[in-house]
Structure formats: structure tokens, C-alpha cells
């Protein structure tokens, strides 16, 4: 068996045991959400790890367009939960919203598996047209120019342009083509399958809109106020998220780049179906959490015989068409993102001014400050699916010893794998510090997270000094960068989700949680612009000049690394002020010894 999968099995077995032991101390509903979200994340990250390569190698979109397209998709993935959260808060309830979103996600991931023939790169010179030939997949992928009956390697010419290697003297094409003397184009990009791609992305976007914020909200509702198990519970929940992401990178990443796009995307769809089954099966264990606020009103007719609930579902289906148009226009996505931000921030400002006490208002101000800091963090962190993924393919030596190597998409497993190893440790650490009354306040945790994500990019800049003759950096530097990103993530992300539920008024929990994901939406959009700074000239989805690409990566990674470290220093400096805004909501308090009821530990909320 491949050494990568052997290592994956060992990591899973070693880390699952302490996690399962800790889960026994938490509400049973967390088991359901743990496994449902695990499979949902398997589907999402399985698709995400392949998407940038699918765009650049199957459809032959250029780097900048692909990175902006990737950003438009991921921005909408995090923007739509604003609507899904509001609908769940007011009408549908979180459980029904999650179930509807899961059904759309199954359809979307399955549609991603429908691939046609790849587009073809062409070169036109002197009135004649030549095609580039692609052989192999993944690390074995090789692009050559077809001239007559032969196929030839190519590279950048000394003074710009293109050099064709090994051409015979009698070739109708010169071996050096000066810049401007030839034209590159793309043909045979089937509009039917391009349309299917955007339909699949639209199904996934709307599905995540109904699911993502709401399933996290149910997790927060399982714990009574002041319960010290909340932060550890969210960290364990985060372990489940990353167990799915870890195996998605290993399995879908290998299937997509070694077998076929259909196999990688299809496996992601099967994972989502399993997540949906777990969520339906585990409904009784949620103990009534996540149900509609007014079930009777939800069943009343609204559009003729169609109930309010049915109208919401029809609206969700109609939204797929709107998103299909929107996801193809990254500039419009930016406008919609700004419009959505103004709307939600305006609503929150009105709520704070008219519906909140001073303490509630300052708690919400703290929540928004954490949201703003998370924009910086996720802008850097989410380079993983775009610029870092391409850096892995183009400028990383992916050999891991014993004559074996990883695919570029499988390097996405580094982050998730480190979380599997670190999440139980961090959960125990926060719980231990909480019992001692020394748990760092969330602003300090956020500052530490920002420092580490910035330092991760500095590690990559350092690694460029060890590049080989092919301009490839040892994969250990990529692993070290992901390690720092992971420890930063464990300081910020599960803590951030927990703080949203702690600092929110009860009527706004899903809306505030959706605002947390709005920050990620902004980060994805800004991150697409940042990734665009690393764009390189490609032919047939293969970078033309690896040396130039490496220099570009070093410059951009150094720049954004400095922004991360700077933001971390600012957050740490402001932490004493921000802590006061919590008014104790971020504090944890030891619970009395739990009473044991059979094989289940139960805590009386009144005694908490």
C-alpha cells in the first residue's frame, strides 16, 4: 500500500482514540454533528483540492482567471450562509436548513464528476496552427508541442518567447519563437461541460449556504451557558471537520490526479451522501435542538397551496440559477459581497442601537472585532487551495522517500493531518487552563494565530534558498509552513466559532455565526487578488518558466507574511481593551462534578 495512505491510517488510529474518549464527556448530539460534518467536509475539501487544477488543466483557463474564478466560488460559499442563517433563525430552523443544504450538496458534487474531453492548447505561427499534446496525469503530466509526426518539449527562450527543444532541421517551425511572433489559443473547450461545471458549483454554493452556519449553531446550542466544555467541544468538532478534510486530500486528491477528475469529484459526492445519512439517522440525539421557532407558521399556505416551508425550498432552487450567472462574474461577486456586508452590518448596528443593553452591545462589538481579525487570517490561510496548491505542483519537490511521492492535491492533507494530531492537545490545553482560570482571552488567541500564519509564509521564503536545479523546493518547507498555519488555526478558528455563540444575543446566534463566515467570504475574495499576484504564464496548464515562478512566489509570500505578523502584533496589543468588552461572556467556570446516569454523564444546566 502507498506509504502516504499507510501514514494516514496510522495518524487516524492514533488520534481517534483520545478524541473518542473525550467525546464521551460531551452531549450525545455532538457525535451526530461530528460525523455529519466530517463527511460534509470530506466532500467540500475533496472538491476544493482539485478545483484549481481542474480549471487550469481540464478547461485550460489561465492562472489569473482560474484564481479569480476560484475566489468567486469560495467567496459565495461563505457569503450565502448569511441568507441561510437568517432563514433558519426566523423560519426554517437549523435542522431543516442543514438537511436541505445537504441534498443540494450531494447533487452538486455528483455533477462535478461529469467531465468531458479536455480543452486543447494551440500555437499559431506563420499562418499554421499546432496543437500541444498532454500525456499522463498528476506528477506524470507532460505537455509537448506536436509538429508533424513528432512531439517536442519546450521552454522559455533566453530573451523572451518560446524555445522548442529537439526540432529537426527540416521542421517548418523554427526552434526559437520570439515574443510576439506567435499566438497561443485554446480550442475544443466544450460549452456544455463548462455549463455543467458552473451548475455544479452553484448547487454546492447554495447547499453550503443552507448548511454551513447552521450546523455549527446546533453544536453551540448543545451546551448550557458558562459550560467549560464548550471550547473543548468545538475543538473536538473541529477534529471531525479535519478528519474529513484529511482523507479528502489523500483519497480525492489521489483519485482526481491519478485516475480521473470524475473519480475524485465522484468520491466527494459519495462522502456528502454519507454525511446526509448520518444527520438524518441522528436526529433523536439532537434532543430537539435546531427545530423551527414556529412550526405552525411554517406549515401555513403562503403561495396558494404552497406553505412557507415549501416557498423557502423553491426559493433555494431558484437561487441556483441566479448563482449560476453570478459565479461566472468575479467583479459582480465583489459588488454583491460589499452589498451583503453593508446590509448585515447595518442590521447589526440597528440591533445594537435599539435592542441591546450596554453589555450586550460591547459583546457584539468584540465579536465584530474578532470577525475583522479573522479576515486577515483567512486571507493568508486560504491561499492553500489556490497559490499554495499551485506552488506545490510547480515549485515543490514532492518526493517523500522510499521511491514514492505525493500528488500536489495531496499536500492539502498537511494542514488537516496536523490538526488531527494537535486538536486533542489544544482541547485538553484550553480545558486545563480553564480549570486554572488562566485560559487566554480570545483576542490573545487570535493574535497568536495571526503571528503563526504570517511566519508560515516566511518559512516558504526561506525554503526558496534550497531549491534544486529544477527550481523545486523540498516538500519539508511546505509541511513546516502548513504546521505553523495549523497551530495558528487551532488558536483562532474553533475558538472563534465558540466565541460567536458566546457573545451573540439568543435571537442573533445564526446571524452572527453567518457573519463569521462572511469574514471568510471577504478573505476568499481578497485572497483571489493576492493569489493573482503569483500568476505565471502557462501552456497546456503547465508553467512555462519555473524559475520566474519561484521568484514571484518568494516576493508575494514575503509580503503577505509581513502583513500576518503585523496584524498579530496589533491584536496582542489591543487584547486588554477587547477583553473588557466580553463582560465575562468569554470566561469559563468550573462545573460541579457531573452526575452519572447509566453510561452517560449528564450535567444539570441549572447547576452549571
**Gap between the Cα atoms of 238 and 494, Å rounded:** 6
Question: Are residues 417 and 526 located together in one domain of the fold?
Answer: yes
- Kindly report which listed range (52-61, 76-85, 415-424, 495-504) carries the lowest average pLDDT score: 495-504
Cβ-based neighbours of 200, under 8 Å, separated by 6 or more? 108, 109, 111, 112, 114
- The residue out of 129, 155, 187 marking a domain boundary is 187
* Domain identity same for 28 and 96: yes
The percent of residues in the chain predicted with pLDDT above 90, rounded, is 43
pLDDT-derived band at 460, boundaries 50, 70, 90? very high
| Containing structural domain, residue 406 | 3-117+190-292+313-586
Please indicate whether residue 504 or residue 60 has the higher confidence score (pLDDT).
Answer: 60
599 domain-assigned: no
Phi, psi of 152 (to 5 degrees): -130, 145
Identify which has the larger pLDDT, 360 or 308: 308
CB count, 10 Å around CB of 124?
Answer: 12
- Same domain, yes or no: 557 and 456: yes
139 and 105, same structural domain?
Answer: no
Q: Of 171, 187, 203, which residue is a domain's last?
A: 187
575 in a domain, yes or no? yes
Which uninterrupted H or E stretch holds 350?
helix 330-355
Q: Is the pLDDT of residue 235 over 90?
A: no
Taking 60 as the threshold, does the pLDDT of residue 238 lie above it? yes
Residue 150 lies in a domain: yes
Q: Which residue has the higher pLDDT, 458 or 76?
A: 458
My answer on whether 531 and 558 are in the same domain is yes
Segment 423-443, tens digit of pLDDT: 767 777 777 877 777 777 788
Alpha-carbon span 499 to 584, nearest angstrom: 12
How many domains does the chain fold into? Answer: 2
Q: What is the mean pLDDT of residues 565-571?
A: 93
Alpha carbon distance 332, 327 (integer Å): 8
Q: Quick one: pLDDT band at residue 587, thresholds 50, 70, 90? A: low
Average pLDDT estimate for 203-208: 94
Segment 143-160 mean pLDDT: 90
Residue 72: its pLDDT value, please? 92
Return the sign of the alpha-carbon dihedral for residues 377, 488, 589, 607.
Answer: positive
Give the Cα separation of 355 and 352 in Å (integer).
6
Pick from 187, 203, 238: which residue ends a domain?
187
Element at 396 (helix H, strand E): strand 396-397
Q: What is residue 118's DSSP assignment?
A: P
33 shares its domain with 131: no
The domain that holds 518 is classified in CATH as: 1.20.1250.20
Give, as one character, the DSSP assignment of residue 1: -
At 144, give phi and psi (nearest 5°). -135, 155
User: E strands along 260-358, which residues?
Assistant: 301-303, 306-307
Q: What is the DSSP string of 287-301?
A: TTTT--S-HHHHHSE
Note whether 478 and 393 are same-domain residues.
yes
Inside any domain, residue 14: yes
- β-strand pairing of 396-397 with 473-474: parallel
Please choose, from the candidates 33, 36, 42, the residue with its C-alpha nearest in 3D space to the C-alpha of residue 8.
42
Q: What is the mean pLDDT of residues 600-608?
A: 28
Closest CA to 446 of 574, 276, 304: 574
> What value does the mean pLDDT of the chain take?
85
Asked whether 296 and 308 are in contact (CB, 8 A), the reply is no
Residue 103 and residue 140 share a domain = no
Q: pLDDT tier at 563 (50, 70, 90 boundaries)?
A: very high
Q: Which is nearest to 319 in space by CA: 205, 483, 467?
A: 205
Give residue 585's pLDDT band: very low, low, confident or very high (50, 70, 90).
low
> Residue 347 has what pLDDT?
86
Reduced to 3 states (helix: H, G, I; strand: E, B; else coil), residue 369 is: helix
What integer pLDDT is reported at residue 183 of this predicted model?
Answer: 93
Q: What is the pLDDT of residue 579?
A: 78
Q: Is residue 606 part of a domain?
A: no
pLDDT digits (tens, 9 = 90+) for 101-131: 999 999 999 999 898 899 999 999 988 999 9
Is residue 304 domain-resident? no
Asked if the structure places residue 602 within a domain, the reply is no
Q: Is the pLDDT of residue 486 over 80?
A: yes
Position 14 pLDDT exceeds 60: yes
Cα 374 to chain centroid distance, Å, stands at 14
* Of 512, 510, 498, 513, the residue nearest 93 (C-alpha): 510
Same structural domain, 407 and 378: yes
- Say how far apart CA 564 and CA 450 lie, in whole Å: 5
Closest CA to 394 of 303, 478, 322: 478
Q: Over 70: is that where the pLDDT of 345 sits?
A: yes
> In 3-state terms, what secondary structure has residue 539?
strand
pLDDT, greater one: 356 or 103: 103
**CA-based end-to-end distance of the chain:** 50
Residue 352 placed within a domain? yes
Judgement on whether residues 131 and 148 belong to the same structural domain of the protein: yes
In eight-state DSSP terms, residue 497 is H
Percent of the chain with pLDDT over 70: 94
> What residues does 131 pair with on adjacent strands?
122
Residue 139 has pLDDT above 80, yes or no: no
C-alpha–C-alpha distance, residues 246 and 583, integer Å: 38
Mean pLDDT of 261-287: 88
Q: Beta strands 142-147 and 306-307: pairing type? A: unpaired
In this structure, the answer to whether residues 398 and 493 fall within a common structural domain is yes
Query: Do 39 and 125 have their domain in common?
Result: no
Amino acid at each position: 500500500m502507498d506509504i502516504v495512505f499507510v501514514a494516514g491510517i496510522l495518524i487516524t488510529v492514533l488520534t481517534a482514540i483520545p478524541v473518542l474518549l473525550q467525546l464521551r464527556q460531551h452531549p450525545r448530539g455532538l457525535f451526530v454533528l461530528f460525523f455529519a460534518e466530517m463527511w460534509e467536509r470530506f466532500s467540500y475539501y475533496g472538491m476544493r483540492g482539485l478545483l484549481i487544477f481542474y480549471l487550469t488543466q481540464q478547461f485550460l483557463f489561465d492562472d489569473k482567471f482560474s484564481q479569480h474564478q476560484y475566489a468567486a466560488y469560495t467567496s459565495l460559499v461563505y457569503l450565502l450562509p448569511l441568507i441561510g442563517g437568517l432563514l433558519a433563525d426566523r423560519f426554517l430552523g437549523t435542522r431543516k436548513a442543514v438537511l436541505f443544504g445537504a441534498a443540494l450538496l450531494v447533487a452538486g458534487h455528483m455533477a462535478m464528476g461529469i467531465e468531458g474531453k479536455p480543452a486543447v492548447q494551440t500555437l499559431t505561427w506563420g499562418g499554421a496552427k499546432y496543437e500541444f499534446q498532454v500525456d499522463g496525469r498528476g506528477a506524470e503530466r507532460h505537455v509537448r508541442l506536436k509538429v508533424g509526426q513528432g512531439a517536442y518539449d519546450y521552454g522559455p527562450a533566453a530573451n523572451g518567447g518560446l524555445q522548442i527543444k529537439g526540432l529537426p532541421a527540416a521542421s517548418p517551425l523554427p526552434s526559437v519563437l520570439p515574443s510576439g511572433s506567435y499566438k497561443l489559443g485554446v480550442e475544443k473547450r466544450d460549452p456544455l461541460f463548462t455549463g455543467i461545471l458552473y451548475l455544479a458549483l452553484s448547487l454546492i454554493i447554495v447547499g453550503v449556504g443552507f448548511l454551513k452556519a447552521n450546523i455549527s449553531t446546533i453544536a453551540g446550542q448543545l451546551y448550557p451557558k458558562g459550560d467549560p466544555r464548550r471550547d473543548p467541544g468545538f475543538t473536538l468538532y473541529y477534529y471531525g471537520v479535519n478528519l474529513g478534510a484529511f482523507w479528502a486530500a489523500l483519497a480525492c486528491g489521489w483519485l482526481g490526479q491519478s485516475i480521473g477528475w470524475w473519480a475524485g469529484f465522484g468520491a466527494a459526492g459519495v462522502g456528502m451522501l454519507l454525511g446526509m445519512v448520518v444527520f438524518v439517522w441522528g436526529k433523536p440525539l439532537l434532543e430537539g435542538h435546531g427545530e423551527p421557532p414556529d412550526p405552525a407558521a411554517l406549515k401555513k399556505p403562503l403561495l396558494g397551496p404552497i406553505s412557507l416551508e415549501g416557498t423557502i425550498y423553491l426559493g433555494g432552487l431558484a437561487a441556483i440559477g441566479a448563482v449560476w450567472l453570478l459565479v461566472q462574474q468575479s467583479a459582480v461577486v465583489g459588488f454583491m459581497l460589499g452589498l451583503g456586508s453593508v446590509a448585515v452590518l447595518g442590521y447589526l448596528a440597528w440591533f445594537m442601537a435599539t435592542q441591546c443593553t450596554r453589555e450586550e452591545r460591547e459583546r457584539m462589538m468584540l465579536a465584530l472585532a474578532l470577525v475583522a481579525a479573522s479576515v486577515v487570517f483567512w486571507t493568508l490561510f486560504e491561499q492553500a487551495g489556490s497559490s499554495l496548491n499551485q506552488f506545490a505542483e510547480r515549485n515543490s519537490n514532492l518526493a517523500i522517500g522510499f521511491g514514492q511521492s505525493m500528488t500536489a492535491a495531496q499536500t492539502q492533507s498537511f494542514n488537516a493531518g496536523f490538526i488531527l494530531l494537535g486538536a486533542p492537545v489544544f482541547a485538553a490545553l484550553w480545558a486545563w487552563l480553564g480549570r486554572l482560570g488562566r485560559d487566554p482571552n480570545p483576542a490573545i488567541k487570535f493574535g497568536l494565530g495571526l503571528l503563526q500564519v504570517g511566519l508560515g509564509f516566511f518559512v516558504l521564503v526561506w525554503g526558496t534558498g534550497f531549491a534544486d536545479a529544477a527550481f523545486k523546493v523540498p516538500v519539508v518547507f511546505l509541511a513546516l509552513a502548513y504546521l505553523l498555519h495549523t497551530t495558528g488555526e487551532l488558536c483562532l478558528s474553533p475558538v472563534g466559532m465558540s466565541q460567536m455563540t458566546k457573545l451573540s444575543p439568543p435571537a442573533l446566534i445564526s446571524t452572527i455565526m453567518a457573519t463569521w463566515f462572511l469574514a471568510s467570504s471577504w478573505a476568499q475574495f481578497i485572497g483571489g487578488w493576492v493569489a493573482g499576484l503569483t500568476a505565471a504564464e502557462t501552456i497546456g496548464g503547465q508553467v512555462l518558466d519555473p524559475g520566474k515562478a519561484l521568484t514571484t512566489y518568494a516576493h508575494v509570500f514575503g509580503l503577505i507574511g509581513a502583513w500576518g505578523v503585523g496584524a498579530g502584533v496589533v491584536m496582542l496589543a489591543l487584547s486588554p481593551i477587547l477583553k473588557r468588552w466580553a463582560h465575562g461572556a468569554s470566561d469559563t467556570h468550573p462545573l460541579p462534578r457531573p452526575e452519572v446516569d447509566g453510561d452517560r454523564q449528564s450535567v444539570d444546566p441549572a447547576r452549571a
